[in-house]
Amino acid sequence: MPDQPRAPRRGRPPLEGLPERRRQQIIASAYAVFVERGYEATAIADVAAHAGIGQGTVYRYFASKREILDHVVDFGAAKLITALEPHTLISRPSSVAEMLAAIRAAIVRLYAMLEQEPEFLRLVHVEASAIDRELSDRLVGMELLVSAFVAHELRRGSEEGWLRADIDSDVIAHAVLAMVVPGVLREIRGENSSQERERTTTGVLTILEKALRPRDPAAAGSAR
């Protein structure tokens, strides 16, 4: 007896790209709930409810809440990197003034991002990093990525002569981020104001200008 053709399957065909969209939906919901309630106080049921799906669907894509947190940290880090736009620092500034303007613009974008999501760093930098070494290393890696962009331009400026030749580009790049931290902590505590942001930013840039600007040989000779 010849094979009979199979009857067509009933039901809706699977939507193309649905698994990845579902994963991103769960990660975005987990980010929102973790920020609101904290990681420890959040259950898988809370994430599922926020996403409008069942707990079984969450477990279909993630084995545990801890696994979700890995992706949430990456999600938050991507938001921070997007806000800072470190790639704009490789738009080839050709003077100290242009370099400082790029750094100022990045700081302004960071504050704007924190104003829109004031609990972001509390989750990513404080709570998540305290959970285990792996997450702490992820956050350190994020800082290394941003500082690498800054260090690249510092080295180029030194080679081209519009920055001092004797600076340690890697140290200065990390110092730039470290000097921004006090303002970020005030932002987390809700103690910052537009005046404080400007004062902190101006202070950071003033220190950098003095550290980066090439010394005037004539002035240096007269000071001897």
Which residue segments constitute the domains of the chain, with CATH numbers given? 17-63 (1.10.10.60), 67-215 (1.10.357.10)
Q: Evaluate if residue 75 carries a pLDDT over 60.
A: yes
Query: Letter for the amino acid at 18?
Result: L
Give the mean model confidence (pLDDT) for residues 145-149: 83
Share of the chain above pLDDT 70, in %: 79
Reported confidence tier of residue 222, pLDDT bands at 50, 70, 90? very low
- The mean-pLDDT minimum among 89-103, 121-135, 139-153 falls in 121-135
CA distances in angstroms from 186 to 133, 147, 181, 189, 210, listed in the order given: 26, 22, 9, 5, 25
> Where is pLDDT greater, at 120 or 53?
53
Give the mean model confidence (pLDDT) for residues 6-13: 50
Query: Letter for the amino acid at 183?
Result: G
Reported confidence tier of residue 76, pLDDT bands at 50, 70, 90? confident
Closest C-alpha to 185, from 137, 133, 114? 114
Give the mean model confidence (pLDDT) for residues 164-189: 87
- The mean-pLDDT minimum among 57-71, 98-112, 201-215 falls in 98-112
Distance CA 161, CA 223 (A): 22
pLDDT digits (tens, 9 = 90+) for 39-52: 888 999 999 999 99
What pLDDT does residue 160 have? 92
**Largest Cα span, the chain:** 107
Q: Which residues contact 138 (CB under 8 A, 6 or more apart)?
A: 70, 73, 74, 77
pLDDT digits (tens, 9 = 90+) for 78-127: 777 776 666 655 567 889 999 899 889 888 888 887 777 777 777 766 66
Tell if the pTM clears 0.85, that is, is over it.
no
CA distances in angstroms from 91 to 94, 101, 149, 152, 156, listed in the order given: 9, 12, 11, 11, 12
pLDDT digits (tens, 9 = 90+) for 22-35: 999 999 999 889 88
End-to-end, the C-alpha distance of the chain in Å comes to 107
CA distances in angstroms from 5 to 8, 12, 168, listed in the order given: 9, 20, 74
What pLDDT does residue 220 have? 35
Q: Evaluate if residue 68 carries a pLDDT over 70.
A: yes
